Chain A
Amino acid sequence: MSALLRVTNLGVRFRLRDAVVQAVTDLDLTVRRGELLAVVGESGCGKSVLAHALLGLLPANATVTGYAHLGTVDLLGCGEKRLAREVRGRQIGLVPQSPATALTPVRTGRSLLAETLRAYGRDPGKAGELAADAGLPAADLDRYPFQLSGGMAQRLVTALALAGDPPLLIADEPTTGLDRPLVDHTLDLLRRRCDNGSAVLLITHDLAAAERVADTVAVMYASRIVEHRPAAQVFGRPGHPYTAALLDALPGRAFRPIPGHPPMLTALPSGCAFAARCPRVSEVCGSQPAGDVACHHPIAVPEVVS
């Protein structure tokens, strides 16, 4: 199956008054139809920036380099008009990070859904159906966002993201602040979409969630992807020391936190960014590692994937 989304050498820099934030560096990834790729990492490593970069929603002080193609569409180069009219919502759907603030406070869910459907040339009357598919009761559609619980708001933004039935869905931290049953419900919804032929890019810091539904996992650290392998391998035999340490930190496993802090995105070292906290560090780590397991001393060698 050919790749639906192909990102090559993506870089995103933000110009601040007296610093430059390196949010994404040398990022490669592919997502195929039917694949659920989980991008995992700690907060502040650049994951959400990736989502916004693909949709052209970065602020004016951002500089984007590299390539990103969705099918034949050049996402980074096609321009705002084409992105707004053809890509956003229709080819790529985004489930935003914080549902409570992502909903316009003075409009009901029904009016938001109807407006979105109309924009895609679909029947605005189908709003009720869409909401039901996402698990949102019809009565809640006529409520305002401040009247919805966290879970209901999450379902509403999911319904909005699916209104255009996009082949690629990007879910940005869709499980934050939700209780277990709702987390499972949301993840199962994403899994179902993949099983029906769509692609999902799941951005999360919740490793358990990724383990539950992901086909492939990309681990991000300090603006780079340090490991990009099938989920079973990542969770079974992690290749990168950072991945191993992340897994060890889980309550279900060794529950051992990683010593130290990730580097500031304004002051990234030229070599491996994890070197300062890595138990396997050596001289050669002063140069930038690359590959599906970006490490000079990987724990496991990446198996060849057909």
Chain B
Amino acid sequence: MIRLVRRRLAVAVPVLLATSMGMFLLGAASPMDPAMQYAGAAAFTASEENLAQIRANWGVDDPLPVQYARWLGNLLRGDLGWSTSRHEAVSEVIAARAGWTLLLVGLTLAVVLVASLLLGAIAAYRRGGLLDRALRATAYAVESMPVFWLALAAIAVFALALGWFPAGGLTDVTAGSASFGDVAHHLALPVAVLAISQAPWFVLFVRDSVAESLREDHVLAARARGLAGRTVLFGHALRTALLPFLTLVGAHLPELVGGSVLVETVFSLPGLGAVSVQAALGSDFPLLAAITLVTTAVVLIANLLTDLAYTAADPRVRVDG
């Protein structure tokens, strides 16, 4: 297991370095003048001396490798830079908002996993049946639907027409603080939309996996022993099909994160996704770069965790180390 962690870290570090370098190069290639960004509206009236002073303070005229090294050094020391669009420290922006994004993504992942395991397994059990055909047709259709379109449709139906859920925000406008029930009520629609949008891949994979698993000798043997259908399906077919599923979940996380950006925007949730969009509109390199790096790091950690879960779940791997 230690070997696995070491191997994963050995891959993760160059990946993060490469990403940071790539982003830094892009930022440097940007026609945006960071000094004018920083000065904001005042840039138009600022004198050339002032702008030059700002540039000198920021060291933007230093050679690129020096700037990169400085930026990287700051990052490793915990100083994530200054957000030019929000005029506060990047680490504060991230700290204040990361929790909500994690909550959204975490809840969605939980819902998607449970739903796809259940639906996929049952659909595979009755292969060719009504549930199976409906599920696959729906999955293919939903795969083509942009998540923000689904979100708008959901708002139109459930928030505006039926009035069951709020159309956005995290809490009621009148609320003083975030109560559990209030937040839950507000997150219901965003989580549902994101989950439905991401589910097709998971459901189809589980269904195909379990369908194949059901044809294996050990499942037939379990049936031959007269075990109940439910026991055969969940205790034997799904248990074996689950293993490759685990590692592939990690590979699908980036798409989930991308979807959360759009969902947060449509539902006006105070997460990192919404902030990235604003940062992009303001060409705020420090904030955007930090968010992208942090997101990549989280995805890599999640991949490591799913790998560890795999080794824990598959005795064949565990015993060999």
Q: Taking the complex as a whole, does A directly touch B, i.e. does some CB pair lie under 8 Å apart?
A: yes
Contact check, A55 vs B224: say whether CB atoms are below 8 A apart: yes
Known pairs A84-B226, A84-B227 / 17 extra A-B pairs, C-beta < 8 Å: A83-B226, A84-B223, A84-B229, A88-B225, A89-B227, A94-B221, A104-B239, A104-B240, A106-B239, A107-B236, A115-B235, A116-B227, A119-B226, A119-B231, A120-B226, A144-B315, A146-B315
Please report the total number of A residues contacting B with Cβ < 8 Å: 32
Residues of the B chain whose Cβ atoms lie less than 8 Å from the Cβ of A89: 224-227
A115 surroundings in chain B (CB, below 8 A): 227, 231, 235
A84 touches B240 (CB 8 A): no
Verify A119–B316 contact, CB threshold 8 A.
Answer: no
- From A57, A83, A105, A164, give the contact of B220 (CB < 8 A): A57
Chain B residues in the interface with A (C-beta under 8 A): 216-229, 231, 235-236, 239-240, 243, 313-316, 319
Chain B residue numbers with a CB within 8 Å of A144 are 315-316, 319
Chief secondary structure at chain B's binding surface: helix
Give bound CA distance, A163 to B235, whole Å.
18
Chain A residues near B231 (CB, 8 Å)? 115, 119
Closest to B235 in A: A115
CB pair A102–B217 under 8 Å, yes or no, is yes
Residues of the A chain whose Cβ atoms lie less than 8 Å from the Cβ of B315: 105-106, 144, 146
Of residues 70 through 123 on chain A, the ones whose CB sits less than 8 Å from some CB of chain B are 83-90, 94, 96, 98, 101-107, 115-116, 119-120
Pull 11 A–B residue pairs with CB atoms less than 8 Å apart, ordered by A.
Answer: A57-B220, A104-B218, A104-B236, A105-B240, A106-B240, A106-B313, A107-B235, A115-B227, A119-B231, A144-B316, A147-B319
Q: What's the A-B contact tally at a CB cutoff of 8 Å?
A: 84
Contact A101 B217 (CB under 8 A): yes
Q: When the two chains form their complex, are residues A119 and B313 in contact, meaning their CB atoms are under 8 A apart?
A: no
Partner of A102, one of B218, B235, B316: B218
Chain A contacts for B235, CB-based, 8 A: 104, 107, 115
Q: What is the minimal beta-carbon distance from B67 to any residue of chain A, in angstroms?
A: 52
Q: A164 and B217: CB pair below 8 A?
A: no
Contact pick for A98, options B217, B224, B313, B319, CB 8 Å: B217
| B125 nearest CB across to chain A (Å) | 12
- Does chain B have a CB within 8 A of A45? no
Q: Give the shortest distance, in Å, between B221 (CB) and chain A (any CB).
A: 4
Q: Which of B216, B224, B227 contacts A119 (CB 8 A)?
A: B227
- Known contacts: A104-B240, A105-B240. The answer to whether A88 contacts B218 by CB under 8 A is no
A160 within 8 A of partner (CB): yes
**A96-B224 in contact given A104-B236, A106-B243, A147-B319 (Cβ < 8 Å):** yes
* Given A96-B217, A107-B239, A115-B235; A88-B223 close (CB under 8 Å): yes
Cα–Cα, bound, A102→B222 (Å): 8
A116 neighbours in B (Cβ, 8 Å):
225, 227
User: Considering the chains assembled together, what is the distance between the CA atoms of A103 and B219 in angstroms?
Assistant: 8
A157 within 8 A of partner (CB): yes
A129-152 near B? 1/0 per residue, CB < 8 Å: 000000000000000101100000
B217 and A94 form a contact (CB under 8 A): no
